[in-house]
Chains A and B, each alone.
Chain A
Amino acid sequence: MLFHTIKFVWFFLIVFSAYWLTPWRQVRVAILLAASFYFYASWNKWLALIVLGSSLTDYLIARGLESSTSWSWRRFFLGVSVVGNLGLLCYFKYANFFLRSLEEALSAAGGTASLPVLSVMLPIGISFYTFEAISYTVDVYRRRIPAERNPLHFLLFITFFPHLVAGPIVRARDFLPQIRKRKRWNWGRVHLGVQYFLLGLCKKMVIADRMAMYSDPVFAAPDQFGTGAVWLAMLAYALQIYCDFSGYTDMALGTAHMLGYKLATNFNLPYLAANVSDFWRRWHISLSTWLRDYVYIPLGGNRNSENPHRNNLLTARNLLITMALGGLWHGAAWTFVIWGILHGSFLIVHRTFRSWSERHPRLDRALKTLPGTLLRVCTTFLCVCVAWVFFRAQTLTGAVAFVRRLFTWQVGAPAELTYHCLATLGAVVLVAHVLMYHGFWKRAVDRLPAPVLGLSYAVLATLALTLTPETAKVFIYFQF
């Protein structure tokens, strides 16, 4: 059940009505819980049992962690939770990848091995809910939050349908207090939810799905296309993935707001980032903060040694490991690992360049002027786009062929769609970025008369429905 389908609209209207018509808090929790399981089971009811089983296990482990005073027991409980969640993730998502990689490594070394291929179905959203569960038990272990006593509340934290299948990755300390809080009907909140939802709907239906029509054929067979078409496909994919994922997140935030819940912000105009480090403060924020708190800092972060040289080396190592794991989190393929390593390398280069430019004040000042900032934004965008090629390509060979066509002139088939469409939608995204950066959206919402706002919502929704392509596509992050 996708957010931008009629089926979801009916589902949400029923849940929304039942939820707000019920005066009892616990019944509301039960309604949301039932709705969340129905939502998940609409893909596969058996896989919903896995979410239920793993969540209940984490609930019990956290209770054990809290009640135990022995460090060895606490470590044991934590280990069981982390190994259990990662084991689940590895089995369903990575088992075949590891087996295949092992087989390829053995054959490259001259050996022969025929390892079995597991016939497993990837439970949708498993990367998100396992990370949420891990962060919860680690936070309980670190005594940053108390263990949740009400199992229904804990289950709702993990399975709340707006964030269940593609994030944002919520933290227990943000979400659990909201469940306990009494909710009161608030038109302002519903209004906000509608705004978020509409914005997400337009991003997904008008831009992301249209851009997919450009990028899909080129990524499927880059060898057949010319350099111009390959550049267009790369730019189209950059627009597609941003509008697809941030569109999903906006819709998730919107539905959550309409039910009285706030989810973490996941995007903040990422393509206006002036360096790759800044990009990661703006792109998939809930994942980057998770990686920071549970991987990068435990590895030592950027404070590893008194010796600056050694510190730099260890920080670079930590960045590479963190980003490679971040890449692997997205999917069981070497293309994702390369994507992560590329970003890790960009971060190291940026870190080195920054400390170098700080020693050259004139350059530093020049880079901070408007033209310097524009140059940095464009360079960052280009780096991010090239990295997207590895993220999107089906195989490493395909990615390399794509990049080769990007940077050497090749003749081939032209792009499938016209430049007009890409230029129009690209301009829409750019203008929207600039307007939002200047706070125009907020000002417009505050100043426009309410009926005019209503009219603009109706027009936006109708436009989104009219301009969406004939073939709707699943959200990209559903596969992760």
Chain B
Amino acid sequence: MLFQGLPRPVLGWGAGEGRRGGIAGSRPLASSARTPPGPSSRAAVSRRGRIAVLSGVLLFLGSQFAFFPLSGPWPPMQDAEYGHKLVNLRKQIRNKPSGRPTVVMFGSSLTGWGLNPAAMTHLAPGGPGGPVVFNFGINSSGVVVELVCLKRLLAEGVRPDLVLIETHPWFLFEGYNHVADKIHFLPISRVQPRDLPVLVRYDEKAGRLLGAWAEHHAVPWYAHRHDLQNSLLPKWVRKDQRTGVWDYTDRCGWEGALAGLSSPLSMPERVASARFHVEAMNNSPLYPDAHRAYREIVGTCQRAKVPVVFVRMPEMRVMRQDSPQTYKDKIERCYTDLYHATGVHFVDARGWVDDVHFVDGFHLVPEGSVVFSRRLEQEILIPFVRSFSPPG
């Protein structure tokens, strides 16, 4: 019966449950009355407690500090998307015969979905004498993230022989570079300690950035749990919260499977989307740090003796032809200034791909990525490989 013989609440002394009697009406499964041997005196209990608690606290703090050194050999621990790309790039470089150049293209999802090295006709991976072409596009990123990724890569000891830098008009405008909880499109959970010196230079409130980073990374195992779970236990994560971009990425970094999953908008919707963004950019002030970030990218490459080329990514015709003159002037002035300041050439790929090969006005469908990649191969990569001589 429910309340008959119900014991008074017991004031527990001993962690957990399960020390009070067995299953009702059954023979005990084990003798719970047996007292285990253990420390009996108060002093011994106290000493054990002190050692266990203090060592536990120290080891816990140690495990937090150890996160960053531990994550060194396995980069996805700190930033899954970047880390998985780095692992693949290293594999490609390790497997390439000596004397072949390495070409890395940095950018956003436009690059991620757009550059498909496997589709190249002469320089496809595995072909004789061709370069390792790797797509280092990071989804939802901007020019500052391109800079951060370049610096990370050089710090990792990966030195490309040619760097291609994606440029797109929305990198140039203020409204496209400040998102509420992100720093230039890089969520704070993915910011690594070595990124901070770069990011503080591009944040008006550097103190706030450092504070937010310190708060977020005070317990790094907690801060990086999403990436860790996504990488190690993807089936434990709900489908809508899974960010396994790498599951859709090929060995050269192309996110074609992801592009293939998206159903393209209808042509009027693509045009409307492109017009909407042109309008938004036209109404937004210019982002002055974009110019600085591009210059820093060029400076970094020059210090590392790596040639660099800017690539103006494919756009729908409506963005080139129907957009307001003020918008066009702003962009051309920015790129002209950048050319004069750095001397770096621009490859104008805006008109390379037909309007039918866009998903949404900006991103390319897999067929579009083939067109773009083959043209890039012809225009940039084949001349580069012909003139390439291995260092030393």
Contact = CB atoms under 8 A, between A and B. Distances in A.
Interface of A: 6, 168, 171, 174, 186-192, 194-196, 199, 210, 213, 246, 250, 253, 262-269, 272-278, 280-281, 285-286, 288-289, 291-292, 296-297, 301-302, 315, 319, 322-323, 347, 351, 354, 367-370, 372-373, 376-377, 416-418, 420-421, 433, 436-439, 441-443, 445-447, 450-451, 453-459, 461-462, 465-471
Contacts of B7: 281
Contacts of A441: 15-16, 18
Given A297-B3, A421-B235, A446-B37, A187 B18 contact: no
Nearest to A292: B3
Nearest to A170: B9
Contacts of B197: none
A437 B138 CA distance: 51
Contacts of B38: 443, 445-447
Q: Which residue, B16, B26, B241, has most C-beta atoms of chain A within 10 A?
A: B16
B56 A454 contact: yes
B9 A436 contact: no
Top 9 A-B pairs, shortest CB-CB distance = A454-B55, A446-B38, A191-B49, A436-B18, A264-B9, A457-B56, A458-B59, A195-B15, A450-B51
Interface string B40-57: 001001111111111111
Contacts of A377: 23
Interface in B185-226: 215, 218-219, 221-222, 225-226
Contacts of A297: 3
A442 B226 CA distance: 34
Interface stretch (B27-35, B123-131, B303-311): B27-35
Contacts of A6: 215, 218-219
Given A264-B10, A420-B236, A462-B60, 13 more contacts: A192-B13, A192-B49, A265-B10, A273-B23, A289-B6, A370-B26, A416-B239, A417-B238, A451-B51, A451-B52, A454-B52, A454-B58, A470-B237
B20 interface: yes
B52 to A, nearest CB: 4
A264 B221 contact: no
B386 interface: no
B2 A450 contact: no
B258 interface: no
Interface in B50-96: 50-60, 62-64
Contacts of B239: 416
A471 B17 CA distance: 28
B6 A281 contact: yes
Contacts of A277: 1-2, 24
B6 A302 contact: no
A51 B54 CA distance: 37
Contacts of B59: 454-455, 457-458
B182 to A, nearest CB: 16
Nearest to B63: A462
Contacts of B57: 454, 458
Contacts of B27: 368-370
Contacts of B324: none
11 contacts: A187-B46, A194-B53, A269-B17, A278-B24, A292-B3, A296-B2, A369-B27, A416-B239, A445-B38, A459-B63, A469-B241
Contact of A368 (B25, B39, B62): B25
B4 to A, nearest CB: 6
Contacts of B14: 192, 442, 445
A426 B226 CA distance: 22
A444 B23 CA distance: 22
B392 interface: no
B271 interface: no
Contacts of A265: 9-12, 17, 20
B25 A171 contact: no
Nearest to B223: A465
B36 A213 contact: no
Contact of B56 (A367, A437, A458, A465): A458
Interface in B228-246: 228-229, 233, 235-239, 241
A210 B238 CA distance: 10
Contacts of B19: 439, 442
A119 B1 CA distance: 41
B340 interface: no
Contacts of A458: 55-57, 59-60, 62-63
B333 interface: no
B48 A450 contact: yes
Contact of B6 (A168, A288, A437, A451): A288
A369 B27 CA distance: 7
Given A171-B9, A210-B236, A268 B18 contact: yes
B46 A465 contact: no
B1 A302 contact: yes
A459 B218 CA distance: 17
Contact of A465 (B8, B36, B225): B225
A418 B235 contact: yes
Contacts of A447: 36-38
B46 A439 contact: no
A187 B15 contact: no
A413 to B, nearest CB: 11
Q: Which residue, B10, B11, B24, B58, has most C-beta atoms of chain A within 10 A?
A: B24
Contact of B48 (A171, A191, A278, A442): A191
A461 B253 CA distance: 36
Contacts of B29: 370, 437-438
A171 to B, nearest CB: 7
A376 B23 CA distance: 10
Nearest to A214: B238
Contacts of A192: 13-15, 49
Given A280-B2, A417-B238, A437-B29, A461 B60 contact: yes
Contacts of B16: 195-196, 199, 250, 436, 441-442
B15 A196 contact: yes
B36 A274 contact: no
B315 to A, nearest CB: 35
A188 B13 CA distance: 10
A277 B60 CA distance: 42
Contacts of A467: 225, 229, 233, 236
Given A296-B3, A421-B235, A187 B47 contact: yes
Given A264-B9, A467-B225, A190 B36 contact: no
A302 to B, nearest CB: 6
Interface in B76-123: none
B49 A417 contact: no
A385 B170 CA distance: 54
B216 to A, nearest CB: 10
Contacts of A367: 25
A347 B2 CA distance: 7
Contact of A268 (B17, B47, B55, B228): B17
B18 A437 contact: yes
Nearest to B62: A458
A274 B25 contact: yes
A292 B6 CA distance: 9
Nearest to A301: B3
B225 to A, nearest CB: 5
A354 B50 CA distance: 49
B46 A213 contact: no
A269 B18 contact: yes
A246 B14 CA distance: 15
B50 A187 contact: yes
B303 to A, nearest CB: 38
Contacts of B39: 446
B60 A275 contact: no
B36 A446 contact: yes
B72 to A, nearest CB: 18
A459 B60 CA distance: 7
A174 B9 contact: yes
